[in-house]
Amino acid sequence: MKVYIPLDSAAVALGADEVAAAVQAEAARRGVPVEIVRNGSHGMVWLEPLVEVVTGAGRVGFGPMTVADVPGLFGDIAAHPRALGQVAELPWMKGQTRLTFARVGVIDPLSLAEYEAQGGLSGLRRALGMDKAGIVAEVTASGLRGRGGAGFPTGIKWKTVSEAVADRKYIVCNADEGDSATFADRMLMEGDPFTLIEGMIIAGLATGATKGFVYIRSEYPVAIRVMQAACDLARDAGLLGASVMGSGHRFDIEIRVGAGAYVCGEETSLLNSLEGKRGVVRAKPPLPALEGFMGKPTVVNNVISLATVPAIFEKGAAYYKDFGLGRSRGTIPLQIAGNVRFGGLYETAFGLTLGQIVDDIAGGCASGRPVKAVQVGGPLGAYHPRAQFDTPFGYEEFAGQGGLIGHAGLTVFDDSADMLKQARFAMEFCAIESCGKCTPCRIGAVRGTETIDRIAKGDAAAIPLLTDLCNTMKAGSLCALGGFTPYPVMSALTHFPDDFSPMKEAAE
């Protein structure tokens, strides 16, 4: 008997380890030999722990599983109350275009043989046959833009590092993933770590970098363990080290663990942290691409940006670019969370409307109440009302609505949400997480929190003051923490003015 039970942190939080132990114990009790594969999650968090049993008709899913449901897996499984049928056939899975996440949930994350059998390493093999300029041109042609939040074209960043002259260059993978409602980086690292390793090696070939770092937040112990194990396996297999696949190109990867600060996801803060310094933002210029880690040319890319590169090389830039809309090319792993019926990861071409995502895919609010607002793009993203549900998911499209897509996390709120409290939360978050380098953010966020408290007490004269302060933070902050905190604050104020009204308390 072969059973897949996710090692993914979300599945583990919901009881996957206990279910795995129960499967082992039940098999021993019945004398049935069992092989348990700890795979990544398919991304349907409401069905976790989602167990799959290999049958003559393929992998049959069961979820959400409890320990009490385990004995039933050894009987007539068709009659099992948690039976879901084949996971690949579930509507959530069938609706997706899985390019970056094609193997997540499917393979044993630490089996290089399974990785290769499912298309892994074919991108790297192709890249090894190209020169640096050719690799950079392919990434540029794909239209790939940074998935960490800023949406900067990956090809241009790689070109800058590739053309810089230096004795050492670096690839830094940003796996800090601090945005609320986001988990794509974690899921990818836990479920298909070799894809990230392959993407980083290709980045090394493109730029002449010989060393890579993966900077992972300490709150991700499973991802840290899986990435470390995958790097060791890759080194043993000759993928990493002095001669990548015997090509003569040197590239190795080191895993580094961040101590936990939102601002350490900002690339220059991250570089300081990586150098053992305090995580404080550096002024730009110089760009990290020219003077990054230890003053050397450095590519800093998000996990998903790098993990998408192998698919681009395997399938071709034109294939990838064909998906999407406008200047948002390819696919995006949406991370749907908050008050929703169906939360999880959904990879799709850019272009679905916010309404399609929230109403059709996420099934509306778990509470059964109407959706009031959706915060898109993490703690620096705007709150979007239903009136903006026609907005297609794309970088420019959300910017046009006073927002951003960030790392593609969506947090859904029902009509019981108090948007003044959410605006206060945004300001307070900024005050707590500010690195302190610049005044508009360090002082402004504290004053902003106080000003919202005044509005909450019925002081309507504080509303223009808040607007003024937001404009100052937007224009005068050194990085996007102070510069974008006005997005959630001002969108809450603009779209939900009743929640800021001095009459509110009287009405309540």
Ligand X SMILES: Cc1cc2nc3c(=O)[nH]c(=O)nc-3n(C[C@H](O)[C@H](O)[C@H](O)COP(=O)(O)O)c2cc1C
Which positions lie near ligand SF4, rule CB under 6 A? 263, 281, 434-438, 441-442, 477-479, 481-482
Out of 48, 176, 291, 397, name the contact with ligand X by CB under 6 A: 176
- Distance in Å, CB of 283 to ligand SF4, minimum: 8
- Distance in Å, CB of 291 to ligand SF4, minimum: 18
- Distance in Å, CB of 309 to ligand X, minimum: 10
Out of 126, 147, 372, 495, name the contact with ligand X by CB under 6 A: 147
Residue (60 or 200) nearer to ligand X, CB: 200
Max Cα–Cα distance, the chain, nearest Å: 75
Give the β-pairing of 409-414 and 331-338: parallel
Binding track, positions 213-252, relative to ligand X; x by CB under 6 A: ----------------------------------------
- Lay out the sheet containing 298-302: strands in order across: 252-258, 211-217, 170-175, 298-302
Residue (123 or 178) nearer to ligand SF4, CB: 178
Nearest of 407, 398, 468 to residue 440 by alpha carbon: 468
Per-residue b or e along 296-335, where b marks 16 or more CB atoms closer than 10 Å to that residue's CB: bbbbbbbbbbbbbbbbbbbbbbeebeebbeeebbbbbbbb
Q: Looking at the DSSP assignment, which residues form a beta bridge with residue 53? A: 3, 60
257 binds ligand X (CB under 6 A): no
Distance of CA 395 to the CA centre of its chain: 16
- Using CA atoms, how far apart are residues 257 and 273, in angstroms rounded to an integer? 10
Out of 37, 104, 188, 263, name the contact with ligand X by CB under 6 A: 263
Quick one: what does residue 123 bind among ligand SF4, ligand X, none, with the CB cut-off 5 to 8 Å set by partner type? none
Quick one: what does residue 146 bind among ligand SF4, ligand X, none, with the CB cut-off 5 to 8 Å set by partner type? ligand X
Question: Using H for helix, E for strand and C for coil, what is the string for 159-224?
Answer: HHHHHCCCCCCEEEEEECCCCCCCCHHHHHHHHCHHHHHHHHHHHHHHHCCCEEEEEEECCCHHHH
331 binds ligand X (CB under 6 A): no
CB-side exposure of 208: number of CA atoms within 13 Å?
A: 16
Q: Are 395 and 145 in contact (CB under 8 A)?
A: yes
Residue (223 or 438) nearer to ligand SF4, CB: 438
Nearest of 389, 346, 388, 340 to residue 365 by alpha carbon: 340
Residue (88 or 280) nearer to ligand SF4, CB: 280
138 binds ligand X (CB under 6 A): no
- Distance in Å, CB of 431 to ligand SF4, minimum: 10
Coil, helix or strand at residue 299: strand
Out of 148, 193, 338, 343, name the contact with ligand X by CB under 6 A: 148
- Distance in Å, CB of 481 to ligand SF4, minimum: 4
Out of 41, 100, 142, 301, name the contact with ligand X by CB under 6 A: 301
Out of 9, 96, 162, 174, name the contact with ligand X by CB under 6 A: 174
Per CB under 6 A, the segment of 36-44, 142-150, 334-342, 381-389 that binds ligand X is 142-150
Residue (341 or 442) nearer to ligand SF4, CB: 442
Quick one: what does residue 441 bind among ligand SF4, ligand X, none, with the CB cut-off 5 to 8 Å set by partner type? ligand SF4
- Using CA atoms, how far apart are residues 180 and 176, in angstroms rounded to an integer? 12
Residue (54 or 446) nearer to ligand SF4, CB: 446
266 binds ligand X (CB under 6 A): yes
The burial of 256, by beta-carbon neighbours within 10 Å (0-12 exposed, 13-18 middle, 19 or more buried), is given as middle
Quick one: what does residue 148 bind among ligand SF4, ligand X, none, with the CB cut-off 5 to 8 Å set by partner type? ligand X
Out of 23, 51, 135, 300, name the contact with ligand X by CB under 6 A: 300
Per CB under 6 A, the segment of 324-332, 439-447, 466-474, 477-485 that binds ligand X is 477-485
- Distance in Å, CB of 261 to ligand SF4, minimum: 10
277's tokens: 């310094």
Q: What is the enclosing helix (H) or strand (E) of 324?
A: strand 324-325
Quick one: what does residue 301 bind among ligand SF4, ligand X, none, with the CB cut-off 5 to 8 Å set by partner type? ligand X
Per CB under 6 A, the segment of 130-138, 242-250, 265-273, 348-356 that binds ligand X is 265-273
Q: Give the dihedral sign, CA 442/445/451/456.
A: negative
Virtual CA dihedral for 295, 298, 302, 307, nearest 10 degrees?
A: -150
- Distance in Å, CB of 290 to ligand SF4, minimum: 20
- Lay out the sheet containing 344-349: strands in order across: 344-349, 331-338, 409-414, 371-376, 383-384
Residue (344 or 483) nearer to ligand X, CB: 483
Helices 486-495 and 419-433 pack at an angle, to 10 degrees, of 170
- Start-end of H helices in 384-461: 395-399, 419-433, 439-442, 444-456
48 binds ligand X (CB under 6 A): no
In degrees, to the nearest 5, what angle opens at C-alpha 99 toward C-alphas 97 and 102?
95
Per CB under 6 A, the segment of 8-16, 263-271, 314-322, 448-456 that binds ligand X is 263-271
Distance of CA 283 to the CA centre of its chain: 26
Residue (138 or 177) nearer to ligand SF4, CB: 177
- Using CA atoms, how far apart are residues 272 and 250, in angstroms rounded to an integer? 25
Binding track, positions 480-499, relative to ligand X; x by CB under 6 A: xx------------------
- Cα-only R_g, the chain: 23
* Footprint on this chain of ligand X (rule: CB under 6 A): 146-150, 152, 174, 176-178, 262-263, 265-267, 300-302, 305, 479-481
